[in-house]
Amino acid sequence: MPMTLSEKIIARAAGVSSVSPGEIVTCAVDLAMMHDSSGPRRAGKYLDELGATVWDTSKLVVITDHYVNDPTPGSIKTQEISHQWVADKKIKNFHPEQGICHVILPEKGYLKPGMFCVGADSHSTTAGAFGAFMVGVGATEMTGVLATGEIWIRVPETLRLHVSGKLSLGVAAKDVILKLCGDIGAMGANYMAVEYCGSAVSAMTMDERMVLTNMAAELGAKTGIIAPDAVTAETLGLIGVDGVDVETWQGDEGAKIARTIDMDGEALAPQVAAPSNPENAGDVGDHAGTPVGQAYLGACTGAKLEDLRMAASVVKGRKKSANTRFFVAPASLHIREQAAADGTLRVLEDAGAKILATGCGGCIGLGEARLDENMTGISSTNRNFKGRAGPESSKLYLASPYTVAAAAITGCITDPRELLAEGGGI
C-alpha cells in the first residue's frame, strides 16, 4: 500500500508493514528530548514518584534553554533541579545553556531521516526538516515515554504545501509559513502531518526548512516534515552524522494526501502577523508605517545563522532608529561563534543591535528583551499570543528576520525589499 513519508516512519516504529490515517498504533521511540521547563521538574518528577527508571538513557536528550540567564529564584531553582536530576539519572546527553533545544538537537547530530522522536515541547516538530517524524507532548505523556520507550499515536492525515518557483530577495521561509497560517488559520491542519515540498522548498537551506516544520505547531498540526534530499545529507554529513538514508525515506507515489495547497513562491510578499495570533498574517504593506518600540531577533525560528545573515544584509551600513530597541539573541553558542567569525555580529552591532545571551528569553517574556507595558514590538519568534512576550498590554507583530531588521532601522514596520533595493545605508 502506498504510504506518505510520515506513514512510513510510523509503520517502521510500530513494527508493522503499513499504516493508514486514523489507525492507532504503539511506536518505539528512537529519541526523546526534554528541556528545563518541561523535563526534570515535571516529567522527571512524575517518573520519580512512580519509582520508575529511564528506559534507555542513551536515547534521552536534556537541554536547558527556557529559564537560563534569568537570575530570579524560580529560574535558578529550575536549573538546580535539572542539573541534579540529570546527575542522579546519569544522563550523558545533557546540554546546559548551549542553545535552544530545537536547534541543539540537529546541531549535535541527534537527528536523521526515518527517526521517530518525541519532544516535551510543542515546537519539537522542527525535527521534521531532517526527514524525521517528531511530535510534541506534555509532561504526562513524556513520563510514559521515559518509563517505557513507547507511545501510542493515531496516524495523521497529510496536508501537503507545494511552494513553486523561487522566493524573491527579502522573502524567507517565515513568510511562507505565516502566509499559510493566515490562509488556513491556527487550527487549519489540526492533527495532520504538514508536508512541505516544491522547488522553493528544495532550494531552501536546512536553517530555512526548520522554520517551516517548527511552525507546523501554529497550524495545530501533529508534525511538520520535509522529505530528505542531497541538502539534508550534505548538512548532516558536515556534522558527522553517519548512515543518512535519503532514498528509503520518501513518500510513495500514489499515497493518499488529504489536502494539497499550492503557493506561488515568486508572487509571495513579506508577511507580518498582527497581534495576537500567527493567523493574523497579511502582506507587509498592510501594516507599513506601524511604529515599533522593539525589534527582536531570537528564538528557534529566527536566530539561526542564516537568520542573522538576513538581518545583517538589511542593516549593513545603517543605524537603528533612535526610538527602537534592537536585540539579537543567537539561537546557540555555536551560531554565535560562527556569526562572530564571519563578521555578521559586527554588522548587527555596528547598526546598534545589542547581542543578548543565548536562550528562549524574549520569546517567552524573560530577560532584557521582555516587552514593556503598552510597548509594540516586532519579532522573528513563532508566537505572539497576548502576554507571552511581555505584559498583556504589550503588542507583538511576527515577521521574518529581513522584516524585523528593516523595522529596527526605520522604527516602524517596513517592507525589507525597499532597503535591500537601496543597498547599504549611510
Could you report the per-residue pLDDT of 91-113, keeping only the tens digit for each?
999 999 999 999 999 999 999 99
Residues 6+ apart with CB under 8 A from 319: 351, 352, 409, 425
Whether the pLDDT of residue 10 is over 80: the answer is: yes
**What percent of the chain has pLDDT above 90?**
99
pLDDT tens figures, 19-70: 999 999 999 999 999 999 999 999 999 999 999 999 999 999 999 999 999 9
Torsion of CA 68, 73, 78, 80, to 10 degrees: 90
The pLDDT value recorded for residue 351 is: 98
Closest CA to 133 of 111, 148, 150, 101: 111
The structure's pTM equals: 0.97
Whether the pLDDT of residue 248 is over 60: the answer is: yes
pLDDT tens figures, 287-298: 999 999 999 999
SS3 label, residue 326 = strand
The pLDDT value recorded for residue 426 is: 41
Q: What is the mean pLDDT of residues 343-362?
A: 97
Instruction: Provide the mean pLDDT of the chain.
Output: 97
Neighbouring C-beta atoms of residue 25, cutoff 10 Å: 16
Whether the pLDDT of residue 425 is over 80: the answer is: no
Q: Is residue 314 within 8 Å of 404, Cβ to Cβ?
A: no
The pLDDT value recorded for residue 424 is: 61
CA distances from 85 to 59, 124, 165 (A): 16, 22, 49
First and final C-alpha spacing in the chain: 61
Whether the pLDDT of residue 377 is over 70: the answer is: yes
The pLDDT value recorded for residue 54 is: 98
5-264 and 270-421 share one fold: yes
Three-state secondary structure string covering 86-129: HHHHCCCCEEECCECHHHHHHHCCCCCCCCEEEECCHHHHHHHH
User: How far, rounded to the nearest angstrom, does the alpha carbon of residue 201 sit from its chain's CA centroid?
Assistant: 16
Residue-wise DSSP of 10-68:
HHHHHTSS---TT-EEEEE-SEEEEETTTIIIIIIHHHHHHT---S-GGGEEEEE-SS-
DSSP H or E stretch at residue 379: strand 376-379
Q: What is the mean pLDDT of residues 189-197?
A: 98
Q: What is the fold, at CATH topology level, of the domain defined by 270-421?
A: Aconitase; domain 3 (3.30.499)
32, β-bridge pairs = 60, 118
Domain 5-264 part of CATH 3.30.70.100:
no
Whether the pLDDT of residue 423 is over 90: the answer is: no
Domain boundaries along the sequence of the chain: 5-264, 270-421
pLDDT tens figures, 311-342: 999 999 999 999 999 999 999 999 999 999 99
Neighbouring C-beta atoms of residue 195, cutoff 10 Å: 28
- State the Cα–Cα distance between residues 88 and 97, nearest whole angstrom: 19
Cα angle for residues 318, 324, 325 (degrees, 5° grid) = 95
- State the Cα–Cα distance between residues 155 and 315, nearest whole angstrom: 45
